[in-house]
Amino acid sequence: MQKLAFAEKIIPLIANMLIPAAFFGFALLWFYLGAPFENETSVGMHIFFYILSFLCTIILLYFNLNKSLFILLSIVVSYVLINLLKKIGTETYVATAAYQNLSIFLPLNLLFFYFWPNHRFFSKNTLYLLLAFFAEFALAEHLSRADIILNIINQAAESSFNPLSFCLFFIFSCFTFTNAVRHGDIWNYNAFFIGLFCSCGLYYSSTPSGLTVFFLGAIICLLLSITQNIYIETYHDPLTGLYSRNSFIIHVKKLPVKYSFGIVSIDDYDKLADNFGKTTQNTLIKLITSKILEHEKEEIIYRYSNDEFVIIYKNLDRNETFERIETIRRSIASALFEYSPHKKALKLTISGAVSEKKRQDLSAFEVLVRARKTLQKTRSFSHNVTSKA
């Protein structure tokens, strides 16, 4: 039983790692066993790199995300410049200041944008960030013309991997892997492998197709991360991990003939952010979510709005649903929520409402609207109660 419990904790953490890890292993095998590739294969991979990069750009612009877009930009610009250096510098390009500095700026950019908040791309801040990004490469060009290499560690002249670049990639890998193990999320695991792909691309850049194979892998990992995260954030609430309103709209189309809705709404939700800040508010929401999940382990729960959770009770009537919501309400009202080790625990309350499917209801949304109207009416004069619609 202990082994089973341990597996239940570990498997969700490593599940998101399996696809990028398998792909990284495949890329290594393909490179070691297949290289040097024929010219047609190399050109095909080169074109595929730009096609996937363009696809990533369109997706990120559509969803208005700047963090991943700047990581993509760092990879693509580095790839273009290294190919340009290889074309004009033949076999000696790895010893040039341009290449050595570029191999330092790439992991620096990955580190910087990894910690950059995921704001909207179409904003004034993005303009300043773009200017700083291209100013950085202008500085790199100026240093290269002056034959100044930023590396502070001695290296062999023929080495294509700068020691300082190695240290920066190692730091990037430590941060991403640590956060991936802690949170088990898709973004950090894919970021870890993006760093591995880029570092291998630099290390093998002097070999035929080595740069293309591994930088293509980095773009595929980034695309995988983007699509998976967009899917999860569309159908799941990113803060609590519960199903989202979009999922509710899809799921209610397949409800049985008999069902009821239970609504749980956090009292004085807006005051939490005003009094304690957004971070503490989010922590308290997660604590309330865990309290609800203690009592409802089998029912499907949706975070329908910022302060509202909807629970679907299949084959239960209004009275049975009322008892379930009342149990949750009493449990939360009697609990102390410790949101910080150095601060006093809080008492929080929720209000609830229940409604069951009636014969005249044409859709599940009529059932939900009836429950929400009842809840709104009740909360206009009282809190910490459960009402029947």
Same domain, 181 and 296: no
Integer Cα distance of 28 and 125 in angstroms:
38
Domain boundary residue, one of 183, 203, 235:
235
Domain boundary residue, one of 235, 253, 276:
235
CA–chain centroid gap for 38, Å, is 37
Q: Please check whether residue 204 lies inside any domain of the structure.
A: yes
Same domain, 95 and 191: yes
Burial of 78 (0-12, 13-18, 19+ CB in 10 A): buried
Same domain, 198 and 97: yes
Task: Match 């009416």 to its residue by tokens.
Answer: 377
Report the share of the chain in percent with pLDDT over 70.
92
Same domain, 66 and 210: yes
Same domain, 192 and 290: no
CATH at residue 262? 3.30.70.270
Q: Please check whether residue 362 lies inside any domain of the structure.
A: yes
pLDDT by 10s per residue, the chain, length 389: 444 444 444 555 566 678 888 889 999 998 888 877 888 888 899 999 999 999 999 988 888 778 888 999 999 999 999 999 888 876 678 888 888 888 899 999 999 999 988 777 777 778 888 888 888 888 888 888 888 877 665 554 455 677 888 899 999 999 998 888 777 778 888 899 999 999 999 988 888 788 999 999 999 999 988 888 888 778 888 788 899 888 988 888 888 888 999 999 999 888 887 888 888 888 888 889 999 998 888 888 999 988 899 999 998 888 999 999 999 999 999 988 887 777 888 889 999 999 998 888 888 899 999 999 988 888 888 888 888 88
Alpha-helix runs per DSSP H in the chain: 2-34, 39-62, 67-89, 97-115, 124-145, 163-183, 186-203, 210-235, 245-251, 269-276, 278-295, 318-333, 364-379
Q: Please check whether residue 240 lies inside any domain of the structure.
A: no
Letter for the amino acid at 74?
S
Same domain, 184 and 118: yes
Same domain, 210 and 257: no
Same domain, 227 and 323: no
Q: What global pTM score does this model have?
A: 0.71
Same domain, 46 and 123: yes
Cβ atoms of 265 and 351 within 8 Å: the answer is yes
Question: Which of 178, 192, 199 is closest to 221 using CA atoms?
Answer: 192
Q: What is the pLDDT of residues 280-328, one digit of tens each?
A: 888 888 889 999 998 888 888 999 988 899 999 998 888 999 999 999 9
Integer Cα distance of 173 and 274 in angstroms:
37
Burial of 272 (0-12, 13-18, 19+ CB in 10 A): buried
Q: What is the pLDDT of residues 43-64, one digit of tens each?
A: 899 999 999 999 999 988 888 7
Domain range for residue 261? 245-388
What's the CA angle centered on 318, arms 317 and 321, to 5 degrees? 90
Q: Please check whether residue 60 lies inside any domain of the structure.
A: yes
Domain boundary residue, one of 235, 257, 277:
235
Cβ atoms of 313 and 374 within 8 Å: the answer is no
**Phi-psi label, residue 255: left if phi above 0, alpha if psi -120 to 50, beta otherwise:** beta
Same domain, 157 and 10: yes
Domains contained in the chain, number = 2
Q: Please check whether residue 86 lies inside any domain of the structure.
A: yes
Integer Cα distance of 327 and 291 in angstroms:
11
Same domain, 171 and 196: yes
Mapping DSSP to helix (H, G, I), strand (E, B) and coil, where does residue 242 land? coil
